[in-house]
Amino acid sequence: MRIWQESTKIGPRPGRMSPLGATFDGAGTNFAVFSEVAQLVELCLFDEDGTEERVPLREVDGFVHHIHLPDVGPGRRYGFRVHGPCRPERGERCNPNKLLLDPYAKAIEGEIHWDEALFPYRFGDVERRNDLDSAPYTAKSVVVNPYFDWGSDHPPRTPYHETVIYEAHVKGMTQTHPAIPEAIRGTYAALAHPAMVEYFVKLGVSAVELMPVHQFVQDHVLVQKGLSNYWGYNTIGFFAPHNAYCSSGQRGEQVQEFRSMVKSLHEAGIEVILDVVYNHTAEGNHLGPVLSFRGLDNAAYYRLSEQDPRFYWDTTGTGNSLRMNHPHTLQLIMDSLRYWVTEMHVDGFRFDLAATLARQFHEVERLSSFFDLVQQDPVISQVKLIAEPWDVGDGGYQVGNFPPLWTEWNGKYRDTVRDFWRGEGGTLGEFASRLTGSSDLYQSDGRRPYASVNFVTAHDGFTLRDLVSYDGKHNEANGEENRDGENHNRSWNCGVEGDTRDRDVLALRARQQRNLLATLLLSQGVPMLSHGDELGRTQHGNNNAYCQDGELAWIDWQNVSDGSELLDFTRRLITLRRDHPVFRRRRFFKGRVAQGRNTEGKDITWFTPAGREMNDTDWDTGFARSLMVHLNGMAITEPDLRGLRVADDSFLLLFNAHSEPLAFTLPEETGRWWAVEVDTAIPYTEYRPLIKGGSEVEVEARAMLVLRGHQDD
């Protein structure tokens, strides 16, 4: 370790308090870091041999400590040490023996090597201060080159109602793909590979939603078990792309590789949405390590217990929650979001446990400071904003309660669709609401059907194949004796738990997967597929694979054929949705004849299997598991984005969740002739003669039929 000697260097300059972080300007680097509690902040620079040089930051404006160093450029590793009070009982945890990551670091090198030196206390005695130096065991911030040739890159800006989201994991998506060079599998470069881009394009999705790519930490407890934080919901760097997903060993190269990935996907018309975790950090509770925020200004960044500031107020289940009513914490989040849009060109964000972001004090507040800031921000307000509308705190389930600018993961859609297809009674009314965009949740405040991001499965829970193959979770591999993960999955194993060779059970499971996919992709709102569901991916009953970085959680590309039945079925459904605006309306159905237009009846009509329009008694019948809906393509009243009125074909959707085949009578008033577009009882298309209105058509047990109106006699 060396102390900065001004006489042997080009003299440092005072620098600027903005922007925060390390900013290379071509002539040197400006360093700026916030800490209200610090008495002195030291910038620590690391040479190639690991020698540390400490530079005191003497200039302080608005609690921002800053300096400009002319001889420091891209690739230089650095960190901070903070001198100040260490009084946990008052929420103050400064300790200059802990090297701290820059909260604004654009790149981070290395990983956390778990050692006693990283913790604020000595093992075995939480009251004893730990002054061991953490520098040898922690990651380092890196100065990056901000310049990148974006060429003609521009955001696709796919309208919400035309969006189909594909949730993917950078590594799990690409780790075993045979067409991708082995050296780059599991990386940003792999997602940008032509084979992967072509797959997304042929599938028909318009956006890839990446599970966390902000720099995250491998949890100490998982490392001790020989496991890892595979999902990545353990952020330590809100500006830095996760370095383990970089194919290059060059320092800071993850930034450029991520940008190249975005550029490649944009060229194919595919948006990039990031799953972001601004509700907590990887530092955990009061027993957790000192890596960054805790050592810089604990009380500014974290929600502390009002009764005893030694402890953290936690609504995330991770040990801490960020303090959303502190201006510098809000600034950090807003600066991070803006950086990923302006400098990394991403197209939107999905906010993990977003209810925590609305907790300005204790209660969830729909109009908290965070949402006010987003609403007025000229950059962030223009991209896709998706909330996971719940957390684990009191009153944390907030589906339908986010501001109009936002869309939401619709957990009620997931639950209802699962219940309907597994044969639960009394679900018809709610199923109809979810199928048509959940107007009960979103219409009252002027939102549109696309406020609902519909999903049946996601990373958290069963895969689609497992949803129809297991009644209970099987998480033994996680090392928690199957105690972790959701217990109430609304799943059904179709008669046998897990793997089986029973052909009837396998046929039913395949049909159920097609039912769920067809319902999802033909519902109003924004559909989201979970990666690999279209390929029949299984986790063998594990519904909480957050710690499984291996074959259990990766897509098994070796056993996937491009012509597989389920993949082809999914592609056909996405194409059907794309080609017919009646499945992706911009406004809710009215359920009545449009005024002032020559339409042929109501925009939507619900029928019993007998072909009679449903009444209140029909909706309330607890044992009913079947219904029919007419979507009138001629009754689309809203103009498209070009201002043109768009008419479409009409469709009849016949749902039979009953355990026996059922005859449906096609209502004569809805059309003279009908062609079969989709039959979930079979995985492929086949020619069938036109069906005349008024006639009967049989729908297989637990199956769905999609009929398109035909004008021919």
Pairing label, strands 703-710, 673-679:
antiparallel
Q: Give 158-208 pLDDT, tens digit per residue.
A: 999 999 999 999 999 999 999 999 999 999 999 999 999 999 999 999 999
- Tokens for 549, please give them: 């970085």
* Locus of tokens 């609401």: 433
Residue tagged active-site, from 388, 648, 677, 679: 388
Q: Give 38-74 pLDDT, tens digit per residue.
A: 999 999 999 999 999 999 999 999 999 999 999 899 9
Q: Yes or no: say if 526 and 271 are a contact pair by the CB < 8 Å rule.
A: no
Q: DSSP letter at 48?
A: T
- Tokens for 14, please give them: 């005072």
pLDDT of residue 642: 62
The 3-state DSSP class for residue 445 equals coil
Q: What is d(CA 207, CA 244) in angstroms, rounded to the nearest whole number?
A: 23
pLDDT of residue 6: 46
Q: Which of 75-84, 339-348, 370-379, 555-564 has the lowest mean pLDDT?
A: 555-564
Q: DSSP letter at 267?
A: H
Type of residue numbered 138: T
The 3-state DSSP class for residue 654 equals strand
Distance of CA 447 to the CA centre of its chain: 21
Phi, psi (degrees; rounded to nearest 5) at 708: -110, 135
Q: What is d(CA 115, CA 92) in angstroms, rounded to the nearest whole number?
A: 22
The 3-state DSSP class for residue 319 equals coil
Identify whether 116 is a catalytic site residue. no
- Tokens for 322, please give them: 């960020």
In whole angstroms, how far apart are CA 107 and each of 65, 80, 233, 251?
20, 15, 18, 8
What is the rounded radius of gyration, in angstroms, for the C-alpha atoms of the chain?
28
Q: What is d(CA 134, CA 115) in angstroms, rounded to the nearest whole number?
A: 8
Q: DSSP letter at 508?
A: H
In whole angstroms, how far apart are CA 301 and each of 138, 294, 341, 352?
20, 7, 23, 18
Identify whether 603 is a catalytic site residue. no
Confidence of residue 242 (pLDDT cuts 50, 70, 90): very high
Q: What is the dihedral of CA 521, 386, 547, 481, to 10 degrees?
A: -80
Q: What is d(CA 689, CA 691) in angstroms, rounded to the nearest whole number?
A: 6
Q: Give 461-498 pLDDT, tens digit per residue.
A: 999 999 999 999 999 999 999 999 999 999 999 999 99
Count of CA atoms in the C-beta half-sphere (13 A) of 192: 18
pLDDT of residue 506: 96
Diameter of the chain measured on Cα atoms: 95
Q: What is d(CA 498, CA 466) in angstroms, rounded to the nearest whole number?
A: 8
Q: What is d(CA 600, CA 278) in angstroms, rounded to the nearest whole number?
A: 49
Q: What is d(CA 145, CA 77) in angstroms, rounded to the nearest whole number?
A: 13
Note if the pTM is more than 0.85: yes
pLDDT of residue 640: 64
The residues with which 627 forms a beta bridge, in sequence order, are: 655
The domain 590-710 is placed in CATH, from the list 1.10.4030.10, 2.60.40.1180, 3.90.76.10, 3.40.50.300, at 2.60.40.1180
Pairing label, strands 526-530, 452-454:
parallel
Range(s) for CATH 2.60.40.1180 in the chain? 590-710
Q: Assign a CATH topology to domain 21-143.
A: Immunoglobulin-like (2.60.40)
* Locus of tokens 């003279």: 672
Q: Yes or no: say if 673 and 652 are a contact pair by the CB < 8 Å rule.
A: no
The residues with which 215 forms a beta bridge, in sequence order, are: 237
pLDDT of residue 573: 98
- CA geometry: angle at 395 spanning 391 and 400, to 5°? 80
Asked if residue 601 has pLDDT above 80, the reply is no
- Tokens for 210, please give them: 């990446």
266: nearest Cα among 275, 255, 277, 258: 258
Residue tagged active-site, from 209, 271, 352, 677: 352
Which alpha helices (H) appear in 343-463, and where do they start and end?
369-376, 411-421, 428-435, 439-442
What's the CATH architecture for 160-581? Alpha-Beta Barrel (3.20)
- The distance in angstroms from the start CA to the end CA of the chain is 88
The 3-state DSSP class for residue 320 equals coil
- Tokens for 560, please give them: 């996937």
Range(s) for CATH 2.60.40.10 in the chain? 21-143
Q: What is d(CA 629, CA 614) in angstroms, rounded to the nearest whole number?
A: 10
Q: Give 528-587 pLDDT, tens digit per residue.
A: 999 999 999 999 999 999 999 999 999 999 877 655 899 999 999 999 999 999 999 999
Q: Yes or no: say if 210 and 275 are a contact pair by the CB < 8 Å rule.
A: yes
pLDDT of residue 568: 95
